[in-house]
Chains A and B, each alone.
Chain A
């Protein structure tokens, strides 16, 4: 057995060996990150990390629509909402349904994909900013319905939201509770971290494979020039609808996970600002580049939290008292950061090398 591994190891090139060692190190680092965080800065940060992973999934889904296919979607959070409410309705005391997670998650993805088609079908003819405003309207419509569908028939519980949503559980082991494995106690957020990490890994793999597939190349072709893509024999209608549906299903899965982790959903979490945030993650990270988008999502979810925990102490340290509303200060700095990053790196922090090339040529005023 060992000799077999040695023989295989001997045959691969040095580059691949280095890459392999790198992956192993990354894997180990990611596995121990929550321990490190809860020991140094507190368990709250593991929870923040969980949300960062969910948002990363969401951003990767939007990246399919905006980054790959070039369809500007300002209402993407609607699919997140649909996924979250699907989970909330099928696994909570709201209707007394308690379906297991392996059933709810695919249903959520499917329902979100359906909504993606619902949005995509009437908007196929729209271009650029017209599409943006319609998607924005779509997102608002979904939110308003969630907010008001408590009468005449109570479906969503209105602005109060749905409570006591079932977490992911296997064989009666509830994942949001602490469990002891091999003498180590894992808190709920810690267990969720591994679940989310595994799912995010899967998402990344799917995205990378998609990008290189026939479909992914068709999306890029449509993004760069729809007419030429059509002339090359691409069925632009189906390919665009596929982008909407697939992007939406990613959002649906992320939404379901959000609902199960939080245990509570309300329309408040699905406003326009959230849509814009996800778009910022995609654009700031590097539109169309899977790893760039990951970076953008992780930065934009953790930065406000870092600012939140430092806004008051720093003021107190510098001026002896809290003069400026820390909440406002943190968002102000966040806005400033968005502007500065875009000014310094207009193509995003980590743009795709291929995309950069095409962008340089296609820059024209509309």
Chain B
């Protein structure tokens, strides 16, 4: 029972991060119908920038309150990522909005390669250790242990997701976003500045990605130039699992994928009589994805798309 509780908890922590990143994928997909392959790298840049700021501040003025350090690092990382996303959309996606569907996919891959190697040039190849700004305390919860960082991750992602849902469903901006995702042309006719809405969508997604990057780096105490790729992939899988284009689906898919992965990794050995070990964690996640899509081809919460528009 203790192991189970622990795996569920780990799954929730992992799932919250997946959900944050998945929201960025799903928002962009909802509006542009584009897989933003570079999103995972934005997560990485967020983590790297925050880490650089933390290291700089703690070395310049060691007496600074850790609270201020983290706020400052977080804000700077979010701003950098938002600016980055703005330029990515402007330079790599906007010119191709009426191009064949796979053209922006290739530029997205190009951006991803570019950012990864840029990060490698700036921050080097080595894994970077994240200093513990706050002392890590461990609590007991239903027989599972949870650290302060993990509590923080779950709380902050829940708050952000709730905030995002409020923005999308109850504000003027959110209404404009939803209208744009229904039809760019008609939204434009209704007086919505479609280009601006698309830019804003990218920037909101990037802000979430930056926060996710900081949380991941804090949780594993390590950051690396290639950390965004696999995370982005998993988050995209989560978005598809939940039904891409659907915000609630992204959250559900993220949490579900996190739980599947951690519970699967914990029990796959027992389930298969020791034949498959925990190395097969990712197989588990993808097999579940395939099974879900076979029965629900547009994801768990995805709308059924009609054959002809």
Asked whether A342 lies within 8 Å of B103 as measured between CB atoms, the reply is yes
| A338: contacting residue among B99, B110, B236, B244, CB under 8 A | B110
Q: How large is the interface on A (under 10, 10 to 19, 20 to 34, 35 or more residues)?
A: 35 or more
Contacts of A180 in B (CB 8 A): none
Asked whether A148 lies within 8 Å of B277 as measured between CB atoms, the reply is yes
Contacts of A283 in B (CB 8 A): 102-103, 105-106
Asked whether A331 lies within 8 Å of B113 as measured between CB atoms, the reply is yes
Q: What mask results when residues 83 to 106 of chain B are scored 1 for a CB within 8 Å of chain A, else 0?
A: 000000001100110111111111
User: Number of contacts between A and B (CB, 8 Å)?
Assistant: 145
Given A144-B279, A332-B117, A363-B98 contact (CB < 8 Å): yes
Query: What is the minimal beta-carbon distance from B232 to any residue of chain A, in angstroms?
Result: 11
Q: Does A366 contact B (CB under 8 A)?
A: yes
Residues facing A in B73-132 (CB within 8 A) are 91-92, 95-96, 98-107, 109-114, 116-118, 120-121, 125
Asked whether A347 lies within 8 Å of B99 as measured between CB atoms, the reply is yes
Asked whether B33 lies within 8 Å of A324 as measured between CB atoms, the reply is no
Asked whether B109 lies within 8 Å of A276 as measured between CB atoms, the reply is yes
Contacts of B100 in A (CB 8 A): 287, 346-347, 359, 363
Q: Does B35 contact A (CB under 8 A)?
A: yes
Asked whether A145 lies within 8 Å of B110 as measured between CB atoms, the reply is no
Report the count of interface residues on B (CB-CB < 8 A): 59
Q: Does A140 contact B (CB under 8 A)?
A: yes
Contacts of A343 in B (CB 8 A): 92, 95-96, 107
Asked whether B283 lies within 8 Å of A145 as measured between CB atoms, the reply is yes
Asked whether A329 lies within 8 Å of B117 as measured between CB atoms, the reply is yes
Asked whether A141 lies within 8 Å of B287 as measured between CB atoms, the reply is yes
Given A141-B287, A335-B111, A328-B277 contact (CB < 8 Å): no
Contacts of B237 in A (CB 8 A): 133, 137
Q: Does A181 contact B (CB under 8 A)?
A: no
| A133: contacting residue among B96, B106, B236, B275, CB under 8 A | B236
* Bound form: Cα–Cα A276–B111 in Å: 13
Q: Does B286 contact A (CB under 8 A)?
A: yes
A-B contact pairs, 24 of them (CB 8 A): A72-B102, A125-B297, A129-B244, A132-B35, A133-B237, A133-B240, A134-B289, A137-B285, A141-B282, A148-B280, A227-B307, A332-B121, A335-B112, A338-B106, A338-B107, A338-B109, A338-B113, A339-B107, A342-B110, A347-B99, A359-B100, A365-B32, A365-B33, A366-B33
Query: Which positions in B face A, CB cutoff 8 Å?
Result: 29, 32-33, 35, 91-92, 95-96, 98-107, 109-114, 116-118, 120-121, 125, 183-184, 233, 236-237, 240, 244, 274-277, 279-280, 282-283, 285-287, 289-290, 293-294, 297-299, 305, 307-309
